[in-house]
Amino acid sequence: MYQRKQYHTLLSRMKEKRGFIQVIMGPRQVGKSTLMKQVVNSVKIPFVFHIADAVPATQLNWISDCWNAARAKMRIENLSELILVIDEIQKIAGWSEVVKKEWDFDTFYDINLKVILLGSSRVMLDKGLSVPLAVS
């Protein structure tokens, strides 16, 4: 199977100590989901995958529900780390505030949940990014 050069970048970031949210964005049908699938299947870290396709745009709790399900899986299966993937994140209005809140919670409580967000439209992603997600 063909692997883009971004495969090696994302793979190495998933192997690193948790530090940053990974955001993969680009036009529809360019291989974002394929790239993510190749990485999570190669890295040997358990993962959960959620798609926001059919979620109402105002359903901010959906993101927290995904996050809480990932944390529960870590507790139940006694996992030291887990990858949470959310596809089509731009479809949830104001998603960045919720993502920052959940990320900060995990950081404070030392929860080793690594996050990959995928989005189809840069304009829609930019519109949702009212809160900077950078971690110092």
Given a cut of 50, is residue 36 above it in pLDDT? yes
Q: Provide DSSP, 3-65.
A: --HHHHHHHHHHHSPS---EEEE-STTSSHHHHHHHHHHHS---EEEEE-TTS-TT-THHHHH
Given a cut of 60, is residue 129 above it in pLDDT? no
pLDDT in tens, 2-19: 777 788 899 999 999 999
What pLDDT sits at residue 27? 76
| CB 54, CB 19: distance < 8 Å | no
What pLDDT sits at residue 126? 57
What pLDDT sits at residue 122? 58
Given a cut of 90, is residue 46 above it in pLDDT? yes
> Within its chain, how far is the Cα of 78 from the centroid?
21
In CATH terms, 22-128 corresponds, of 3.90.1300.10, 3.10.580.10, 3.20.20.70, 3.40.50.300, to 3.40.50.300
Q: How many CB atoms lie within 10 A of CB 123?
A: 9
pLDDT in tens, 66-120: 999 999 999 999 999 999 999 999 889 889 999 999 999 999 999 999 999 998 8
Largest pairwise CA distance in the chain: 39
In the chain, domain spans: 22-128
Helix, coil or strand: residue 88: coil
